[in-house]
Amino acid sequence: MTTRQVQIAVIGGCSVGKTALVVQLISALFEEEYVPTADEDRVAMLDYGETSIKLVIHDTSGSEKFAEAREEKYTTAEGFLAVYSIERRRSFNELRMFLEKLQQVRGIRSIPLVVVGNKVDLQNVREVERSEGEELAKTLGCPFVELTARERDSVVGAFKQLIREMDKTAVVRKENMKLKLTHCTLCALL
């Protein structure tokens, strides 16, 4: 089995469950108690087909106090889980702002990304409809998942979906580079 390392960032507002997703992936645990994150890096191993992926996960803070650190992760991460809580409209609106900033910092539109509606176990207090998350993802040209950090399989699935998106983006970039090289070779020949 081959091993590769990738850097990803989990972004979104405060108390949307970013750390709970990361802890579930790493430890197969759901922590009931909320503890605000002050921007942490964690490592997880994930089996992905014939490859073992070493994920360096930037668990970003949603607090404005850590905006500079979060934006630094925007430049180093290769892919992003963009998380909001289905039971807080404000978190969905904040995520849109985080994504706008991400696109500004990266300067490109094609960013490996998965939009995640978290806390589906709280259906009785839902404020953001599934269709709204789907529409956001469609606008961004990326996958959308709804899940709960309480269920490991869905969490692992979201991270694997992000790896698939990263792989797709890498193939497209490689093909674009070949086209540019071919174009440059043609220009040199003319």
* pLDDT score of 1: 82
φ/ψ (deg, to 5) at 41: -105, 135
Average pLDDT over residues 134-138: 97
pLDDT at 186 over 70: no
The one-character DSSP state at 31 is -
φ/ψ (deg, to 5) at 75: -85, -25
Residue type, 47: D
Domains in the chain: boundaries:
2-189
pLDDT at 176 over 80: no
Kindly compute the dihedral angle of the four CA atoms of residues 76, 162, 127, 105, in this order, to the nearest 10 degrees.
20
pLDDT, one tens digit per residue, over 11-29 is 999 999 999 999 999 999 9
Average pLDDT over residues 107-125: 91
- Domain 2-189 top-level CATH class: alpha beta
pLDDT at 37 over 90: no
pLDDT, one tens digit per residue, over 70-95 is 677 788 899 999 999 999 999 999 99
Average pLDDT over residues 129-151: 97
141-147 own/partner pairs: CB under 8 Å, 24+ apart? 141/110, 142/112, 142/113, 142/114, 142/115, 143/114, 143/115, 144/114, 144/115, 144/116, 144/117, 145/114, 145/115, 145/116, 145/117, 146/86, 146/116, 146/117, 146/118, 146/120, 147/116, 147/117, 147/118, 147/120
pLDDT band at 185 (very low <50, low <70, confident <90, very high): very low
Sign of CA dihedral 3, 37, 16, 98: negative
pLDDT at 109 over 90: no
* pLDDT score of 174: 53
Three-state DSSP state, 58 = strand
pLDDT at 108 over 60: yes
